[in-house]
């Protein structure tokens, strides 16, 4: 097999990133936009020693899972990867993705509980971050690049977001404001960032600028008020003058409202700023957090919530727990968590701003012995040092792990097993329909004989 060769390939599996996989002359070939059951003509784009990458040219026999794509920028934008197959087929792929990782990497053969899927696979996101192209159009980055693909209306976003981005782009073109250039570091407008609180309907519009002000701010606010009416709660400038591809800077200036919107999650009122961490699919986050609470069995117990963010998981358990201790390294998130505890009149929650491993060591010095530890780490998972501290120094009865990456969850399952914690049950949750991502809640129990 060589580059630019055209082959006929039958797709028999799916990769973790959503590409179809077929085998040709014994070598795995990865082809985006294909599905299990497809037979297709494929153009080979790259050949490595152990695999190859191709491009779909023509379907010879389509998979029974295929359905008509309903998005004009699918295959160009770097978001969705499963818009060409049925949602039920997508859920089966994600269920198998988690199960395979737990078996192959974690060394545990245990089928997961059935994947928890939402009632709708469209319009579920409560947040969007739009880069702006040179013409002032909002869009999304193409996969594995910073090339902007204009998009009038993303089907994963609320309909209001399309109206806001259209209004914003029109204002940019009218005023002729400069667009930030990543190579030169010049230009004013960097990103448009929108949040919507599903429970209250409140909307936040945040403009990320390479400067201290926005020339047409009053005019823009008036235009947004006209479009959104009372739904518009606040408009915020985020100041980011750094020559970096990090979207948000640290400084916020409210130009309308107080800089916050308020939502409700698992019966907890939550205040959100542009810098607050918050799950993008609220209704599915509620189901995920309820499963975490079920696994935690927090009634009358001390719960240590590591990587707590704005405190949503721990605070949702606070009414039943004896004490909640949340740990988070981002100061703004800790302030959000403390405010949310006060907002909900929760007196038995305490939050610590520190690295999870350092905080765990300090809590050990205080003599804190949590009954349950909740881990909700970033995609890279937990450090081995942290898992050792949790298992050896705290030795909780229960450990609940909320994961956004099956591979790192599976790696940590293996480590925890060696530390005396046995995986008892795990449940996949599809918080990100049409994308390759899947979350998982897992329960570990301490083996008293270890």
pLDDT per residue over 238-249, tens digit each? Answer: 999 999 889 999
Q: What is the mean pLDDT of residues 82-105?
A: 97
For helices 217-228 and 159-175, give the axis angle rounded to 10 degrees.
Answer: 150
In a 10 Å sphere around its CB, with 0-12 CB exposed, 13-18 middle and 19+ buried, how is residue 24 labelled? middle
Q: CA-CA distance, 125 to 278, in Å (whole number)?
A: 11
Shared domain for 243 and 160, answered yes or no, is: yes
Closest CA to 375 of 356, 400, 395: 400
Shared domain for 254 and 310, answered yes or no, is: no
Shared domain for 131 and 104, answered yes or no, is: no
311 dihedral zone (left: phi>0; alpha: psi -120 to 50; beta): left
Q: Which two tokens stand for residue 73?
A: 């920028």
Q: What is the mean pLDDT of residues 14-22?
A: 94
- Is the pTM higher than 0.85? The answer reads yes
- Residue 450 in this model has a pLDDT that exceeds 80: no
Contact 325, 304 (CB under 8 A): yes
* Tens-digit pLDDT profile for residues 189-234: 999 999 999 999 999 999 999 999 999 899 999 999 999 999 999 9
- Alpha-carbon separation of residue 441 from 265, 304, 335, 385 (angstroms): 17, 16, 26, 21
Classified as helix, coil or strand, 424 is strand
Shared domain for 295 and 425, answered yes or no, is: yes
- Alpha helices, DSSP H only, in 105-243? 159-175, 217-228
Q: Is 137 contained in some domain?
A: yes
pLDDT interval class at 448 (50, 70, 90): low
State which residues form the domain around 231: 127-265
- Alpha-carbon separation of residue 445 from 111, 372, 417, 423 (angstroms): 17, 10, 10, 7
- Residue 381 in this model has a pLDDT that exceeds 70: yes
The per-residue pLDDT of the chain, averaged, comes to 94
* Residue linked to tokens 């009372």: 230
Contact 219, 171 (CB under 8 A): yes
Shared domain for 145 and 104, answered yes or no, is: no
- Residue 105 in this model has a pLDDT that exceeds 70: yes
* Residue linked to tokens 């800790």: 334
Shared domain for 115 and 146, answered yes or no, is: no
Shared domain for 111 and 135, answered yes or no, is: no
404 as an active site residue: the answer is yes
Q: CA-CA distance, 410 to 421, in Å (whole number)?
A: 13
Shared domain for 316 and 440, answered yes or no, is: yes
- Alpha helices, DSSP H only, in 105-207? 159-175
Contact 98, 112 (CB under 8 A): yes
Q: Which two tokens stand for residue 270?
A: 């939550």
* Residue linked to tokens 């040092």: 385
Shared domain for 289 and 415, answered yes or no, is: yes
Q: CA-CA distance, 140 to 72, in Å (whole number)?
A: 13
- CATH number of the domain encompassing residue 200: 2.40.50.1070
- Which residue among 80, 206, 266, 404 is the active-site one? 404
């Amino acid at each position: 097999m060589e580059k630019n060769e055209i082959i006929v390939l039958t797709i028999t599996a799916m990769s973790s990133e959503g590409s179809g996989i077929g085998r040709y002359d014994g070598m795995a070939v990865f082809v985006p936009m294909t599905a299990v059951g497809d037979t297709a003509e494929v153009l080979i784009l790259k050949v490595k020693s152990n695999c190859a990458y191709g491009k779909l040219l023509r379907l010879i026999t389509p998979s029974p899972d295929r359905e008509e794509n309903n998005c004009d920028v699918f295959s160009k934008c770097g978001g969705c990867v499963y818009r060409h197959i049925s949602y039920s087929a997508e859920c089966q792929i994600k269920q198998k993705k988690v199960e395979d990782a737990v078996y192959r990497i974690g060394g545990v053969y245990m089928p997961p509980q059935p994947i928890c899927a939402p009632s709708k696979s469209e319009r579920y996101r409560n947040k969007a971050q739009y880069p702006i192209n040179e013409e002032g159009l909002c869009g999304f980055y193409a996969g594995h690049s910073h090339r902007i693909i204009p998009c009038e209306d993303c089907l994963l976003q609320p309909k209001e977001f399309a109206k806001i981005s259209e209004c914003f782009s029109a204002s940019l073109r009218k005023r002729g404001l400069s667009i930030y250039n990543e190579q030169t570091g010049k230009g004013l407008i960097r990103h448009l960032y929108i949040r919507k609180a599903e429970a209250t309907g409140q909307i936040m519009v945040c403009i990320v600028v390479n400067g201290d002000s926005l020339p047409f701010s009053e005019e823009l606010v008036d235009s947004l008020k006209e479009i959104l009416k009372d739904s518009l709660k606040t408009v915020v400038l985020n100041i980011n003058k750094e020559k970096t591809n990090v979207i948000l800077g640290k400084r916020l200036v409210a130009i309308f409202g107080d800089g916050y919107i308020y939502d409700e999650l698992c019966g907890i009122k939550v205040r959100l700023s542009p810098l607050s961490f918050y799950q993008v699919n609220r209704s599915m986050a509620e189901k995920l957090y309820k499963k975490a609470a079920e696994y935690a069995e927090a009634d009358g117990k001390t719960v240590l919530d590591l990587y707590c963010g704005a405190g949503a998981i721990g605070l949702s358990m606070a009414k039943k727990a004896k004490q909640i201790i949340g740990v988070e390294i981002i100061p703004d998130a800790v302030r959000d968590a403390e405010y949310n505890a006060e907002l909900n009149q929760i007196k038995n929650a305490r939050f610590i701003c520190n690295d999870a491993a350092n905080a765990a060591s300090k809590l050990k010095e205080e003599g804190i012995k949590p009954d349950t530890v909740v881990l909700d780490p970033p995609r890279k998972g937990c450090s081995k040092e942290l898992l050792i501290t949790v298992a050896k120094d705290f030795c909780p009865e229960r450990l609940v792990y909320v994961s956004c990456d099956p591979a790192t969850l599976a790696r940590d399952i293996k480590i925890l097993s060696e530390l005396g914690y046995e995986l008892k049950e795990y449940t996949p949750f599809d918080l990100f329909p049409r994308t390759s991502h899947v979350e998982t809640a897992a329960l570990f129990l301490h083996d008293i004989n270890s």
